[in-house]
Amino acid sequence: MASAAEGDMEAELTRGLQWGFQDLSLNKLATSLGASEQALRLIISIFLGYPLALFYRRYLFYKDSYLIHLFHTFTGLSIAYYNFGTQLYHSLLCIVLQFLILRLMGRTITAVLTTFCVQMGYLLAGYYNTATGTYDIKWTMPHCVLTLKLIGLAIDYYDGGKDQKSLTSEQQIYAIRGVPSLLEVAGFSYFYGAFLVGPQFSMNHYMKLVRGELTDVPGKIPNSTIPALRRLALGLVYLVGYTLLSPHITEDYLLSDDYENGSFWFRCMYMLLWGKFVLYKYVTCWLVTEGVCILTGLGFNDFDEYGAAKWDACANMKVWLFETNPRFTGTIASFNINTNAWVSRYFFKRLKFLGNKVLSQGLSLLFLALWHGLHSGYLVCFQMEFLIVIVERQAASLIRDSPVLSRLASITVLQPVYYLVQQTIHWLFMGYSMTAFCLFTWDKWMKVYKSIYFLGHVFFLSLLFILPYVRKVMVPRKEKLKKME
C-alpha cells in the first residue's frame, strides 16, 4: 500500500514538474521576446489556426455537418483551455444559456432583449470583477467577441420569424429560418479562426461553410491557399515590426517624467508616432486570423465583375486604406471592419425609430465603449471619435460647398502639402484618442492630456463652434450662386 501511494505521489510530482518546466520555458521565451506569457499563448493560438484549417480542408470539408461542428467546438474549447484554463466555463455557460433562450422564448422581441441584457450583463460583470489598471489578456477578451456573436444570433433568429417582405435586403441575408441546435451554436461560437479576437460573422455564413458552399470551385476544396498565405505574410510583417519597435515606443513613456519634461512639439510628435504604432498589434492579429478564415473557405465572398473569387468576407483590415487615407473616417472604414459592420447592422440601423442619425451614432459609440470595458478611457476615446467625425464632416462639406475653398483644394501643386497636413492632424489626434483608450484610468490619461493642454479637445471643440460661422461667410446662398451662374 505504501509503495503504491509513493508511486502515485511520484507520478503527481513528475506531472507537476513537467507542467512547471513548460510554463518556465514559455515564460522565458515570452520574456526574451519582450512580451507576456499570456500574449505569447495568444499568438501561438492564433497561428495554430493554420494547421487546424489544413486538417479541416483535408479531412472534413465535405463530411457530415455534426463532425464539423464537433471539430470546431472541440478545437475552440481546447484553445480556450490553453489560454484561460478552467475559466472557459464562462463562454460555455453563456452559449448554453443562449441556446435555452432561443428555444424557450422563440422568435420574440423578449428573446432579443433578454439576450442583450444577459450577454452584455455577463460581460460587464466580468469586466468589473477582473479589471485592473493595465491591459491583461484574460477570459473577457474572447468573451466580448462571443457576446456580439450571440446577440447577433438572437436578432437574426428573431428576423427569421418575420414576413420576408417586412425585412430589408440586408436583414433577409442574415435572417435564420431554421432552428439552430446546441451543437450548431457551439460550433459557430467556438470556431477556432475567430474565437479569440474575431472577426465577426453570421450564423448563416457559418452554416454555408459547414455545407461546403463557401468555395470558388463547387464540389471541390476552395483555391484559397495563396490568398490565405498573402494575409499571413502581411500579418508577419506587422508582427515583426511591432516586436522590434515595441520596446522603444510604449504607452508607459507617456507617463514618464522624461516625456513630461520634453518640449510641447516633442510630446505631440511622440503621441503621433505612438498612436500609429499601437494599432499594429491589432492589425497583426486580424490579418493572421483572416488568413485562417480564408484557408477554411469562410473568407469566400462570391466573385467580382471579372469572375475572380473574392476572399474578403472576414477581412477586419483594409491595409492600404488604413496606411494611406488621411481622414479619420478612412481609418474607421479600414479598421476592425466586421465589428463596425456588426454595430451598424444590429445597433445603429435598429435605432432608426429615434429619427435622429446623430443620436443613433452617439448611442452606438456609447455601446462600443461599454463593450470594450468599464474604464473611463474607453468613454473618452469614443467621445473623441464622435466629435472628430462630426467636425471632419463639417470641414469636408465646407470645402466642397465653398467656391473659394474648392478652388484652393484643387490646386495640383499643393496636393502633397495638403496630404502631409491632413495626415499629421489625423495621426496626432488618433494618438490623442488612443491615449485614453490604452491608459484606461482617468488619472493616467488626464496626466498625459494635461501635458499637451488638452489639445485634442480644444482643437475640435473650437472647430465645432467656429465652422458654422465660417460656412456663413465662405458659402454663398443659393440665390447668389444662381446670379453668379
For the chain of 485 residues, list the mean pLDDT of each consecutive stretch of 10: 48 49 65 79 96 96 96 97 96 98 96 98 96 87 98 98 93 96 98 96 97 95 97 96 90 94 96 95 96 98 94 96 95 95 96 93 96 96 96 95 93 94 96 96 96 97 96 76 50
- CA gap 141, 422 in Å, rounded: 34
Report pLDDT for 28. Answer: 78
Report pLDDT for 246. Answer: 87
- For residue 186, CA distances in Å to 118, 159, 223 come to 18, 21, 27
Output the pTM of the full model.
0.91
Run of H or E including 194: none
Report pLDDT for 386. Answer: 96
* 181 alpha-carbon distance from chain centroid: 27
Report pLDDT for 238. Answer: 96
Would you say 436 and 380 are in contact if contact means Cβ atoms under 8 Å apart? yes
The set of catalytic residues is: 336, 372
- CA gap 444, 446 in Å, rounded: 5
Domain locations in the chain as residue ranges: 1-33, 38-213
Would you say 140 and 123 are in contact if contact means Cβ atoms under 8 Å apart? yes
Report pLDDT for 12. Answer: 53
Would you say 259 and 444 are in contact if contact means Cβ atoms under 8 Å apart? no
Q: Kindly state the cell numbers that stand for 161.
A: 420569424
Phi-psi region of 195 (alpha: psi -120 to 50; beta: other; left: phi over 0): alpha
Distant-in-sequence, close-in-space partners of 343: CB < 8 Å, separation ≥ 6:
364, 367, 368
Report pLDDT for 485. Answer: 54
